[in-house]
Amino acid sequence: MGRSAKLTECAYLPNDGHQRICVEKNTIQTGDSGGALLGSNGTNFVQIGVASLASTYSPLDGCWIERITGVECGI
């Protein structure tokens, strides 16, 4: 299963009548755009949205790669 994200207020977006679900910074990554946003009632998962409008940078070289792959990051 994917990552979990904490919901947050959409204070930084204009109130233009669109309904939005916002998540905390650093819980979405490059490549997540277009993917399903799932919610859980404790038993089942249902799609509640689609990831979009993400403005984030996921470093291509970092110690997280070493943790996942075992390849030394050299930082």
Q: What is the mean pLDDT of residues 2-25?
A: 68
Domain span holding position 74: 1-75
Q: What is the pLDDT of residue 41?
A: 76
Please give the tally of structural domains in the chain. Answer: 1
pLDDT at 49: 79
The whole-angstrom separation of Cα 26 and Cα 62 is: 15
For the chain, what is the mean pLDDT? 69
Q: What does the pLDDT look like over 39-70, one tens digit per residue?
A: 877 888 888 777 776 655 445 556 666 776 67
Quote the pLDDT of residue 20: 73
pLDDT at 35 over 80: yes
Phi, psi of 25 (to 5 degrees): -55, 145
8 A C-beta contact, residue 35 and residue 50: yes
Q: Is the pTM of this model over 0.75?
A: no
